[in-house]
């Protein structure tokens, strides 16, 4: 009996020791972090197929006029196109505020161009070039946005303008009135912008390059000198752009008079300059600006006003729309 008890005792001890040895021989301890909860993992995971929020396109409501962008207090010198300005920061383009004019007969889209649209009325009989507007029935538009030399522009007595546009089969006509307390124009040729002068911009292929933000061969920049030395002296017209055609324009008609801080100019530019056969309903990119110099001792462009609130010479999308009507 005693032997049986001892044998049982030794068997118990042997089994216990064997169990301990087996646990010690396991080299993988119980993990400190439990197995992940896959339900919670799914809640916080990113589904690669889940669509992201895409911004909506912004559409301009052209029925509601937008205010023009505030003009900068100073801008880079605005010289003719041969010497482009170094400042290429273009202001925001403001859509047309006048949407009453008809679009081109073959186009239905609304051009995203800046400034108030301009209407050029048909003139069956050419105007008398005497700087008197008696025969002009066209709408008159202001040119008073200061687009260059804001620091040197004093007030509307220093420089401000207004204009009208007309046309017939041979000429594009412009009548321009300028308020200017000092007349100073002693420059000639390509430098006439360095004195009191008028600039006309015309994009002759408006719908062909509606969104193009640089000048090309269908964009024209013409300068008008109302008179060298005085308003009653020799007038001049100069084509800056396209640069391949740059030079004086001898067949442009110019008549100017002035007194008491105001001068008036009537201009006739042959359509052949633009290689255009005009017709009612045609539309062009357009801008009219006036340069000022109050220093008769030097040739310098001190300031410029325009009908274009955001005028940039090198960016035709900042020009407005001219429509020929009959």
Q: pLDDT by residue (tens digit) across 47-61?
A: 333 333 322 222 233
The reported pLDDT for the residue numbered 80 is 65
**Tens place of pLDDT per residue across the chain (326 aa):** 444 444 444 444 443 444 444 333 333 333 333 333 333 333 233 333 333 332 222 223 333 333 333 333 333 345 565 443 333 333 333 434 443 333 333 444 545 677 899 999 999 999 999 878 888 888 999 999 999 999 999 999 999 999 999 999 999 999 999 999 999 999 999 999 999 999 999 999 999 999 999 999 999 999 999 999 999 899 999 999 999 999 999 999 999 999 889 999 999 999 999 999 999 999 999 999 999 999 999 999 999 999 999 999 999 999 999 999 99
**Phi-psi region at 160: left, alpha or beta (left = phi > 0; alpha = psi -120 to 50):** beta
pLDDT at position 87 is 38
CA–chain centroid gap for 122, Å, is 29
Task: Report which secondary-structure segment, H or E, holds 15.
Answer: helix 2-24
Q: Is 277 exposed, middle or buried (0-12, 13-18, 19+ CB in 10 A)?
A: exposed
Q: What is the reported pLDDT for 78? A: 53
Residue 133: per-residue pLDDT: 80
Q: Hey, what CATH topology would domain 118-325 get?
A: Immunoglobulin-like (2.60.40)
Strand 197-203, strand 219-225: pairing: antiparallel
CA separation (Å) from 263 to 123, 162, 268?
A: 23, 11, 17
Q: Are 174 and 165 in contact (CB under 8 A)?
A: yes
Q: What is the pLDDT of residues 160-202, one digit of tens each?
A: 999 999 999 999 999 999 999 999 999 999 999 999 999 999 9
- Please state, in angstroms and rounded to a whole number, the distance separating the CA atoms of residues 175 and 163: 5
Q: How far apart are CA 130 and CA 258, in angstroms?
A: 11
Q: How large a percentage of the chain has pLDDT more than 70?
A: 66
Global pTM?
A: 0.69
Q: Are 229 and 192 in contact (CB under 8 A)?
A: no
Distance CA 26, CA 22 (A): 7
Burial class (CB within 10 angstroms; exposed 0-12, middle 13-18, buried 19+) of 268? buried
């Amino acid at each position: 009996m005693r032997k049986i008890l001892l044998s049982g005792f030794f068997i118990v001890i042997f089994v216990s020791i064997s169990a301990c040895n087996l646990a010690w021989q396991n080299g993988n301890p119980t993990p400190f972090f439990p197995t992940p909860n896959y339900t919670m993992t799914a809640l916080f995971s990113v589904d690669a197929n889940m669509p992201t929020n895409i911004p909506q396109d912004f559409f301009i409501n052209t029925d509601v006029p937008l205010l023009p962008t505030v003009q900068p207090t100073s801008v880079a010198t605005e010289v003719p196109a041969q010497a482009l300005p170094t400042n290429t920061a273009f202001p925001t383009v403001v859509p047309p505020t006048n949407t009453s004019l008809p679009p081109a007969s073959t186009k239905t889209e609304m051009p995203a161009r800046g400034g108030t649209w301009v209407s050029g009325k048909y003139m069956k009989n050419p105007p008398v070039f005497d700087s008197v507007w008696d025969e002009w029935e066209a709408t008159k538009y202001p040119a008073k946005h200061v687009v260059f030399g804001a620091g040197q522009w004093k007030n509307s007595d220093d420089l401000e303008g207004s204009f009208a546009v007309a046309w017939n089969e041979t000429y594009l006509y412009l009548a321009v009135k300028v308020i200017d307390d000092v007349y100073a124009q002693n420059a000639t040729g390509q430098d006439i912008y360095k004195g009191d002068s008028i600039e006309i911009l015309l994009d002759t292929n408006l719908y062909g390059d509606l969104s193009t933000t640089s000048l090309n061969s269908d964009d024209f920049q013409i300068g008008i000198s109302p008179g060298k030395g005085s308003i009653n002296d020799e007038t001049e017209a100069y084509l800056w752009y396209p640069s391949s055609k740059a030079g004086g324009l001898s067949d442009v008609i110019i008549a100017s008079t002035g007194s008491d801080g105001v001068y008036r100019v009537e201009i006739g530019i042959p359509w052949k300059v633009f290689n255009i056969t005009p017709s009612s309903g045609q539309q062009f990119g357009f801008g009219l600006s006036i340069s000022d110099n109050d220093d008769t001792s030097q040739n310098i462009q001190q300031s410029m006003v325009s009908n274009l609130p955001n005028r940039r010479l090198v960016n035709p999308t900042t020009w407005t729309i001219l429509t020929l009507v009959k």
